[in-house]
């Protein structure tokens, strides 16, 4: 039987964790801080749990230089499949914020039950019908799933596919359309993009120029899924209204999702519209556990959060800060970039054997997708490649079922 040291795991998620972090976590499961109880047995309402959350928040803010006017939330539910909570939560919360802004424009200082002002309700409803849009940049499987969830919740008339990579790439993903061709809405509730498409090996090279804030600091409401490349490069956090990511790829264990959100989208600056108002407007009402303001108000402890998952994420953050001090995520980025280049160079050295799937301009640094083509019999060649790689202790290389081929996660 192979030992842990014999295996190099390239799986995209759940991904490998540092061995020393797992060893520390194993001890904590039996007895945390000499309390006589394992960490998973302590109440999520205890001071111990609050301390674990607060320390993890502080260390994440340090790693990514998250400004003070952003809140960090630990939630359950991921992006889709193991990872559709945030695809839904983003819709609920940012549509609610859009409605709150429009309500203020229409109602002004008018007080009381909205039902007492049918003419204003009608005006607001007309604004929802005519102007409410969510923009999606569809560049891979995850952004396609996100847009599908938005359409399921709101209906197609409120969803704007501002860009679709398949339309300029023969019906397949593998590119990012030129920004000059994006069809962005004038006042979208938010613009969504997936910063790194795990399945398709596509990564945005940087923050899109089309979404940059103007000279006055105002710009589109931008929401990004960074589940597979968080902590691998420096992020211009202030350019985003919210960032979300599952922990299972670069931060910790499956089961906890992190949301970094600008506080201006939370009370007291803005609150979600009332249930009555949303019903008047025929818009979906979010489950309480998906309301960002509820999670923020309760320091991520509205419901029974897995404190063990947050603890593991916190230990990974501590290790990153210790390893890459004082340059933090910039140093991790240099390591990630170097490893990606080594792998791409090795693949490109044998063009008769390997073929990289995505376009060179948008190749992911963290999810390297390629086919094994030697001899022209791809299926047989890839089966042999997987058998030999497993024998060499290289696991998790099989590509996603929707794309096939090989999928090499850049192991950090």
**According to the model, what pLDDT value does residue 411 have?**
52
- Taking alpha carbons only, the member of 81, 96, 106 closest to residue 134 is 96
Task: Estimate the crossing angle of helix 19-30 against helix 307-323, to 10 degrees.
Answer: 140
Q: What is the DSSP letter of 190?
A: E
Tell me the per-residue pLDDT of 91-134, one tens digit each, with 9 for 90 and over: 999 999 999 999 999 999 888 777 788 999 999 999 999 999 99
Mean pLDDT of 326-355: 94
The average confidence (pLDDT) of the chain is: 92
**According to the model, what pLDDT value does residue 81 have?**
46
| Strand pairing class (406-409; 367-372) | antiparallel
Give the separation between CA 278 and CA 143, rounded to whole angstroms.
26
Q: Where are the domains of the chain?
A: 54-310, 329-409
Q: 54-310 belongs to which CATH class?
A: alpha beta
* Residue 15 pLDDT class (50, 70, 90 cuts): confident
The answer to whether the bond into 14 is cis (omega within 30° of 0) is yes
In this structure, of 30-39, 176-185, 212-221, the range with the lowest mean pLDDT score is 212-221
In this structure, of 236-245, 329-338, 367-376, 386-395, the range with the lowest mean pLDDT score is 367-376
Q: Which CATH architecture has domain 329-409?
A: Alpha-Beta Complex (3.90)
* Residue 13 pLDDT class (50, 70, 90 cuts): confident
CB–CB of 247/255 below 8 Å?
yes
| Sequence-distant (≥ 6) Cβ neighbours of residue 99 within 8 angstroms | 124, 128, 132, 273, 277, 278, 281, 283
Tell me the per-residue pLDDT of 47-98, one tens digit each, with 9 for 90 and over: 999 999 999 999 999 999 999 999 999 998 764 544 469 999 999 999 999 9
* Residue 263 pLDDT class (50, 70, 90 cuts): very high
DSSP annotation string for 10-59: --SSSPP--HHHHHHHHHHHH-STTSSS-GGGS-TTSHHHHHHHHHHHHH
Mean pLDDT of 187-209: 96
């Amino acid at each position: 039987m192979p030992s842990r040291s014999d295996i190099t795991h390239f799986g995209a998620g759940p991904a490998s964790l540092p061995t020393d972090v797992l060893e520390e976590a194993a001890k904590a499961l039996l007895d945390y801080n000499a309390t006589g109880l394992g960490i998973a047995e302590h109440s999520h309402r205890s001071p111990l749990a609050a301390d674990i959350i607060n320390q993890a928040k502080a260390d994440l803010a340090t790693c990514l230089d998250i400004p003070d006017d952003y809140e960090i939330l630990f939630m359950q539910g991921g992006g889709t499949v193991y990872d559709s909570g945030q695809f839904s939560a983003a819709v609920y919360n940012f549509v609610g914020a859009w409605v709150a802004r429009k309500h203020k424009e229409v109602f002004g200082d008018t007080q009381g039950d909205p039902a007492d002002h049918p003419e204003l309700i009608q005006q607001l409803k007309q604004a929802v019908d005519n102007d409410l849009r969510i923009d999606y940049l569809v560049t891979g499987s995850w952004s396609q799933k996100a847009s599908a969830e938005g359409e399921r919740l709101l209906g197609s008339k409120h969803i704007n596919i501002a860009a679709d990579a398949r339309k300029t790439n023969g019906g397949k993903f593998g590119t990012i359309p030129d920004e000059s061709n994006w069809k962005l809405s004038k006042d979208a509730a938010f613009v969504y993009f997936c910063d790194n498409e795990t399945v398709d090996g596509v990564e945005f090279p940087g923050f899109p120029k089309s979404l940059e804030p103007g000279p006055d600091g105002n710009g589109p409401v931008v929401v990004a899924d960074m589940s597979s490349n968080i902590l691998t490069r420096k992020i211009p956090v202030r350019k985003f209204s919210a960032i979300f990511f599952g922990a299972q790829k670069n931060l910790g264990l499956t089961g906890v999702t992190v949301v970094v959100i600008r506080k201006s989208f939370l009370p007291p600056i803005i609150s979600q519209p009332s249930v009555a108002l949303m019903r008047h407007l025929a818009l979906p009402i979010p489950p309480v556990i998906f309301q960002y303001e509820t999670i923020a108000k309760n320091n991520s402890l509205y419901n029974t959060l897995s404190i063990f998952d947050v603890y593991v994420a916190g230990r990974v953050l501590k290790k990153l800060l210790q390893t890459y001090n004082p340059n933090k995520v910039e140093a991790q980025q240099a390591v990630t970039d170097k490893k990606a280049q080594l792998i791409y160079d090795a693949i490109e050295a044998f063009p008769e054997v390997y073929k990289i799937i995505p376009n060179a301009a948008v190749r992911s640094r963290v999810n390297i997708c390629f086919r094994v083509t030697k001899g022209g019999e791809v299926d047989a060649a890839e089966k042999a490649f997987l058998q030999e790689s497993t024998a060499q202790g290289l696991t998790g290389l099989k590509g996603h079922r929707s794309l096939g081929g090989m999928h090499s996660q850049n192991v950090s």
